[in-house]
Amino acid sequence: MIPKNIDQITISDIQRLVANEVTGGKTIHYKRDIPNDHKDENVNFLIDICALANSIGGDLIYGIETQKNNQTTLPQITGLNKFNLQDFSTKYQSKIQDGIEPKITGIQFHEITLEDKSILIIRVPQSWTAPHRVIYNQMSHFYGRSNAGNYSLDIQEIRSAFLASDTMIAQIDKFRTARLEKIRTSKTPVKLREKDALVLHIIPLSSLTNFQYLDLENIANNNPPTPIDFREGDWRYNFDGLLYFDQFTYPLMNGYLQLFRNGIIESVRNLGIQKQEGLNKLYFTYDESQTLTALKQYLSFLQNQGFTPPIFVFLSLINIEECVMMPDSTSRYRELFYPIPETDLITPGVIVREFSERPAEILRTSLDALWQAGGYPKCINYDDKGNYIEI
């Protein structure tokens, strides 16, 4: 796989592959022509997609011919005749959805325009729902990919793929649980002003599987991601990667952002619970709005760093026992004085399958759950049509 965001790949990157004699392998597969509608072409296309998704993902690069030279297969740019990328991607996304099960998400298409030709790149992410099988035209076969090319998975490999998917989910859950315990017990990388906290975890699947590491120095010098509701602060390197912290209440902090070197983001912010009339009141609408703004920033950052979906998003509220969720003064909902009995509210994870998804859509079910914990029927900041009401 070319180590760049697919939208940033140019003809120079392709020429570099050719000049360096980078042959096809486990994560790069060259093709001279785009597939046509012939049955065999459709089958081969689906096998290519399935094999990459069942392995560690990769790039299909169309418009590159491979030639034998002293037993080595060398790439050569031939280019494709001009075509409509939108029509092609719509058509072949449909073929993928109909011809492979379970469905594969996060596939990206990118065209590089030459003078009178084109190069097409189809990027297939490693799938967390593997193993996938091709079901086109009464087929039912599982495929993987190695440096030698595509191959059929045997029974043991299929079993291992099922176990690997379960293992990845367990690994993500274990990581989140461990991090929340550190926050719960005040073992955070900076000292927070209060014990209560809103915690947002952003975990790209590829951060756990592809050993993709960030250029921390470059990020530190070029608009890095910042904590939720960031006002003013500082940053430093630490053992896990880069740490950004809000110094608004120095020496104690309102919040911080831990950027792990593998791309995982942990953003933590105190909630600003107000003690009024003998109650611990949590006016959550502002925190919620700032969280959605931060999520948009974090997903854009990961996309620019070359990460691909699926991306897991987790929202948690820590140390909020006996708090009362309160609407703001402009809300159509009346105040409900139901103290939250739980110490922590740990919402289920949400999967981002496309970067085009809006933060308010991504976190809708999580926000519903948090407001329901306070006695409300759903998140009070969506209108009757499901649109988020900006403050």
Write b or e for each residue in 345-376: b if 16 or more Cβ atoms lie within 10 A of its Cβ, otherwise e.
Answer: bbbebbbbeebebebbebbbebbbbbbebbeb
78 or 164, which is more confident? 78
CA dihedral 251, 257, 259, 264 (to 10 degrees): 140
Answer whether residue 86 shows pLDDT above 90: yes
Residue 210's pLDDT is 66
- The H or E element spanning position 280 is strand 279-283
Which tokens hold the place of 70? 């002293």
Select the highest-mean-pLDDT range: 167-171, 224-228, 279-283, 295-299: 295-299
Proportion of the chain above pLDDT 70, given as a percent: 95
pLDDT band for 330, please (50, 70, 90 cuts): low
Which tokens hold the place of 125? 């992410």
Mean per-residue pLDDT, 161-168: 81
Helix H, strand E, coil C: the string for 199-222 is: EEEEEECHHHHCCCCCCHHHHHCC
The span from the CA of 245 to the CA of 189, in Å, is: 9
Answer whether residue 246 shows pLDDT above 80: no
Answer whether residue 99 shows pLDDT above 90: yes
Over residues 289-316, the pLDDT tens digits come to 999 999 999 999 999 898 888 899 999 9
Residue 250's pLDDT is 66
Which domains occur in the chain, in start order? 6-153 (3.30.950.30), 162-373 (no CATH)
The secondary structure of residue 373, as a DSSP letter, is: H
Answer whether residue 151 shows pLDDT above 90: yes
Residue 38's pLDDT is 82
pLDDT band for 288, please (50, 70, 90 cuts): very high
Answer whether residue 260 shows pLDDT above 90: yes
Residue 43's pLDDT is 93
Residue 201 burial (C-beta neighbours within 10 Å; 0-12, 13-18, 19+) = buried
pLDDT band for 350, please (50, 70, 90 cuts): very high
Residue 31's pLDDT is 93
Mean pLDDT of all residues belonging to the chain: 90
pLDDT band for 3, please (50, 70, 90 cuts): confident
Over residues 46-60, the pLDDT tens digits come to 999 999 999 989 999
Answer whether residue 276 shows pLDDT above 70: yes
Residue 41's pLDDT is 87
Residue 40's pLDDT is 84
pLDDT band for 70, please (50, 70, 90 cuts): low
Answer whether residue 212 shows pLDDT above 90: no
The span from the CA of 50 to the CA of 135, in Å, is: 10
Residue 7's pLDDT is 86
Phi, psi of 269 (to 5 degrees): -145, 135
pLDDT band for 129, please (50, 70, 90 cuts): confident
Lowest mean pLDDT among 41-45, 202-206, 228-232, 257-261: 228-232
Mean per-residue pLDDT, 162-167: 80
Asked whether 30 and 131 are in contact (CB, 8 A), the reply is no
